[in-house]
Structure 1
Amino acid sequence: MARFYIQGVPIGYMAIMLTILASLGGFIFGYDTGQISDILLMEDFIQRFGTCSVPGDASSCQFSIVREGLIVSLLSVGTLTGALSGAKVADFLGRRRAMTTACVVFIVGVIVQIVASHSWVQFAMGRMISGLGVGALSAAVPMYQAETAPPQIRGTLTATYQLFISFGILIAYCVAIGTRNVSGSGSWRIVVGIGMLWAISLGISTFFMPESPRWLTARGKFPEAKRSLARAWGIPLQEAEENWKIHRELVDMQCALELESQVTAGWIDCFKPEGKVLYRTLLVMTIQMFQQLTGANYFFYYGATIFQSVGLKDSYITQIILGAVNFFATFGGLYVMEKYGRRLPLIIGAVWQSGWLFVFAAAGTVKDPKTDANIGKLMIISACLYIFGFALAWSPGPWILTGETFPMRTRSMQASLSAASNWIWSFLLAFFTPFIVKNIQFRYGFIFAACNLLSAGIIYLFLYETSGLSLENLDTMYCDPACRPWTSRAWVPPGLSSPTDISDIQEKPTVDMDSKIDV
């Protein structure tokens, strides 16, 4: 079985392949997010679902602010509900089967959308149903990735979820520009319907994935957990029986579960101060909120409309440029989040984003971009540079933290609450943006610029550095009263010589891995 080594720990190529397959969940979300911006400008869609003063004349048709806001934002209502319910589903069925179930729900929502004829309510409700599946995936996928990936590359592999979101957005833009001239309803139905292909691909691929070793350990299924780790680390099963590193990893999981199983976990446990559980719940929920308030979805949801308003004749092309910048820069984000940790990239990224949003807003406020071509170009450049910075840090960062910050006992519920925070603010942003833009236009960028600066301060004061730590050692760090967020980079787990190296531990733990834990 193919494998390579990082910090003395074997890493199987299977771990990378499993993470990429799971990241199709992010691709589904990105594709569904990116498609609506261009669909709103398609003539057949506007005629069918908009209000027309002259029947049959697309130029006389338009969406009211409320209708446009609901068509865009009801996806987020579904994702919110799906994220909250996804916790119990992922705990009951397992991470793998939960992803399969979410794919089925998403496909049902797509079908409801493509069979809509003239009812915008039906189309919007279909988006909400699809959102249920997307929300459930947003809870299950980061958990699965964090619990399956070896800690030495966990940040990079977990960040592929956001990479695939970016890829999904780009592909949606490309598909839309290819179908916009298709006659009739095919212009938008093809774009929506293709979304089923991604869900089917993920649903089928989950049958070939191992279950999360931590979920298996929590249910006392140690032989299955050992096999799951062996596949991720590229170690033949016969070697895994005697491999002390796999044995130690399973012992760490067992010890953590023995401590956590003393009390039955419920939603209320996510808000208890012991072990800084409340602290971590509120922290990651806040970080997920700020991922929306950085302003990225302002461009992703309404980008085509924004660039049409600055005088561009073909705003579809600009959308593709933005999507391409977002996608390719996210590759850099994988490196940045692994090389420099979580804190520094998020702080620098927030300051960078704030600066370019200020330029975007100031340019659009000082002069009318419709009458000044240079101002319009400056706004496009500043938007691209903003997206570049977002993709390097704030695009993958919050999802990495959602997967790795919480203790096992409450991880699924806290991950759901964190994802739900993202979706709540996604809904608020999607629904109210048309109203806000109508009143303050491009000055909206100043609000996002201020939010970015505020988020940088919060990261510095409250976020602990989690890069390279096992999930069990990460939990120990948060409970260490001597450790502070700004000193956490140098924190060393008990018994180790450095935060990330376990190669100096030579003594094989002596715990009977055939015993079972009642959870």
Structure 2
Amino acid sequence: MAATADQDLESKIQHNVDHHDVYEEKAGISAFKAGAIEAENAEHNMTVMEAVKAYPMASFWAFVMSCTIIMESYDVFLMGNFLALPSFTQDFGVWSEAHGEYIVVTKWQSALQVSGQLGALIGVFLAGPLTSRIGYRWATLTGLMLLNVFIFSMYFAKSLPVMFVSQLLEGIPWGIFIANAPAYCSEIVPIKLRAPATQMLQMFWAVGSIIVGAVTYHYNDVKGPSAYRIPIALQWMFPTPLAILIFFAPESPWWLTRKGRTEEAAKAVERLGKRSQVNSTETVAMMRRVIDLEKSEKKPNHIELFKGTDLRRTLIVCCVYAAQNLTGNLIANQAVYFFKQAGMGVSTAFALGLITSALQMIFVMLSWILTTYFGRRSIYLWGSAANLTLLVALGVAGSVGVSKAASNAQASLGLIVSVLFTLGPAPASWVIIGETSAIRLRPLTTGMGRATYYIVEIPCIFLASYMLNPNSGNLGGKCGYVWGGTALVCLVTAWWGLPEMKGRSYREIDIMFRRRIPARQWKKTVIDVNDDE
């Protein structure tokens, strides 16, 4: 009897202990979820200015990371401008009896402009696994140091093949920058700052084109190799200062939380925001809640991008990236050469190219307001529709015969297309790319999307060079018909498949993709703050 009583007592004690442990566990889960909900509600309720005040250093570090895009932009526009630079064409081109000047033959025009993109295509595939393993910060630092080395080979290049290989090598770090920057910028800022933080990438793309436009405009009358070697050497302005700044930057707290380093994630949050206005514990709880939704036993890999609901997310990112090359962007990238083929003088073409780049920067800043208050989908669709109309008008202007009025109309429409692209589709694209991918697969998704961009861009560059080259297609403004046709396909695809993610937390975006809500229904769909499926 005594033994039985003792056993009953022990059983009751153990039951009470177990019950207490379960209670504590449930209380812990409840507190964790309450903190996560509190942090998400706080981000939803912030105004844009309150978000800037609460996260001042997040805005600064997004600014610094966006500066890495200057380097790709600089070199992309540099090669386009070199094709119109007399000293470059004289050293690397052939004499054209028909036009009375030196020109770079079509195959090398195209090859020089795709070489960097080929390298970047390699870089974006390296960026995903590299960033998933060592983080955004160290992956970017690796790219910056490699770029410092590769600029040497381009500076000392004395033939087109060597220049081609040099550009290809430089492209590898660009791929790392362009894959990481939109993901990092979207992860370190609160909801209300995601649009301006990621749109800064388009602004710095314009900054790179302004710098290269000013440099090549200054050197377009200079005789000898210094006219193009000095602009090449100026690339060294960027990597080392940026590397020093990024060395001191915080790692993305989302990346740290994915790795289970929650204490470091909390410290990163405190570095990004003001301690008096940001609760790092609750913010990390919000991140853990989203990451738990996406939890998987497998390590992130490219195959997952094409399975289940992640396939839809991957397709959106890839299509938005591809559309950048199919809605008039290549006219912007070859603006100086386009203006020259439209009948402008060399100095006028370079001046118009510089004006185009300056206007692009202004219009990107205007797009911050539009995208913040009117959403991503509407701005993207209306901007694409406007570009389509202008591209068709450009084709008409190129079809009315050779005259000064027709040349001026083509140049004006080319400028407007290039500038309007940076008001709507281009900056909205960066926001969409940063928001669409799952947190767990983000480095891989942005890398795959940018790879699609290059895969589409490379044949488009060959096509654009063929259409504009006077010894080949010689279409001039009539290329507007071609780009108008591709822009129409992109517009219809976006109307059908692009959701509106303005004001949505990453948790809400995850849930809406899992529920397979049609793109046109996203704006009016309500997701309860307690939902965790």
Residue of 282, 297, 302 corresponding to 1:248: 282
Residue 496 of structure 1 and its aligned partner are, at CA, apart by 7.5
Residue 29 of structure 1 and its aligned partner are, at CA, apart by 1.7
Query: Is 1:450 matched with 2:485?
Result: yes
Deviations 1:296-316 (A, max 9, x none): 123323x22221122211311
CA contact (8 A) 2:380 2:424 kept: yes
RMSD (Å), alpha carbons: 2.4
Say which one has the larger Rg.
2
Question: Which stretch has the larger CA shift, 86-95 or 306-315?
Answer: 306-315
Residue 360 of structure 1 and its aligned partner are, at CA, apart by 1.0
TM-score normalized by the length of structure 1:
0.87
Name the counterpart of 1:341: 375
Deviations 1:189-223 (A, max 9, x none): 11111112122222121012100001110111112
Name the counterpart of 1:93: 134
Residue of 397, 400, 410 corresponding to 1:379: 410
Q: Which amino acid aligns with 1:146?
A: S
Alignment of 1:66-465 (within 5 A): 66-117=107-158, 119-235=159-275, 243=279, 246-264=280-298, 265-273=300-308, 276-301=309-334, 303-313=335-345, 314=347, 315-368=349-402, 372-437=403-468, 438-439=472-473, 441=475, 442-465=477-500
Q: What secondary structure is seen at the aligned counterpart in 2 of 1:292? A: coil
CA contact (8 A) 1:150 1:233 kept: no
Q: Which amino acid aligns with 1:291?
A: Q
Distance in 2 (CA, whole Å) between partners of 1:158 and 1:397 is 9
Q: Which amino acid aligns with 2:508?
A: N
Distance in 2 (CA, whole Å) between partners of 1:191 and 1:464 is 42
Deviations 1:215-258 (A, max 9, x none): 1101111121112112222225xx86xx2xx4333123213323
CA contact (8 A) 1:31 1:169 kept: yes
Residue 480 of structure 1 and its aligned partner are, at CA, apart by 2.3
Residue 440 of structure 1 and its aligned partner are, at CA, apart by 6.3
Name the counterpart of 1:34: 77
Distance in 2 (CA, whole Å) between partners of 1:277 and 1:51 is 50
Q: What secondary structure is seen at the aligned counterpart in 1 of 2:89? A: helix
Residue 60 of structure 1 and its aligned partner are, at CA, apart by 5.8
Distance in 2 (CA, whole Å) between partners of 1:384 and 1:50 is 27
CA contact (8 A) 1:110 1:130 kept: yes
Residue 466 of structure 1 and its aligned partner are, at CA, apart by 1.1
Distance in 1 (CA, whole Å) between partners of 2:482 and 2:90 is 34
Residue 262 of structure 1 and its aligned partner are, at CA, apart by 2.4
Distance in 2 (CA, whole Å) between partners of 1:230 and 1:162 is 28
Residue 389 of structure 1 and its aligned partner are, at CA, apart by 2.1
CA contact (8 A) 1:464 1:478 kept: no
Distance in 2 (CA, whole Å) between partners of 1:380 and 1:49 is 27
Distance in 1 (CA, whole Å) between partners of 2:129 and 2:81 is 35
Residue 405 of structure 1 and its aligned partner are, at CA, apart by 0.8
Distance 1:155 1:52, change over 3 A: same
Residue 24 of structure 1 and its aligned partner are, at CA, apart by 0.7
CA contact (8 A) 2:185 2:198 kept: yes
Deviations 1:265-297 (A, max 9, x none): 211100002xx1101111210111111101212
CA contact (8 A) 1:12 1:235 kept: no
Gaps of 5+ in 2: 1-44
Deviations 1:129-179 (A, max 9, x none): 111111110101111101111111111111101111011111110111112
Residue 341 of structure 1 and its aligned partner are, at CA, apart by 1.1
Distance in 1 (CA, whole Å) between partners of 2:204 and 2:527 is 32
Distance in 2 (CA, whole Å) between partners of 1:343 and 1:366 is 35
Moved over 4 A (4+): 7-10
Q: What secondary structure is seen at the aligned counterpart in 1 of 2:54? A: strand
Residue 68 of structure 1 and its aligned partner are, at CA, apart by 1.3
Residue 59 of structure 1 and its aligned partner are, at CA, apart by 6.3
Distance in 2 (CA, whole Å) between partners of 1:383 and 1:367 is 17
Deviations 1:335-357 (A, max 9, x none): 21211111000110011001111
Gaps of 5+ in 1: 498-519
Q: What secondary structure is seen at the aligned counterpart in 2 of 1:257? A: helix
Residue of 61, 84, 90 corresponding to 1:18: 61
Percent identity over the alignment is 22
CA contact (8 A) 2:326 2:490 kept: no
CA contact (8 A) 1:329 1:391 kept: yes
Name the counterpart of 2:511: 476
Residue 396 of structure 1 and its aligned partner are, at CA, apart by 1.3
Distance in 2 (CA, whole Å) between partners of 1:51 and 1:377 is 28
Aligned length: 479
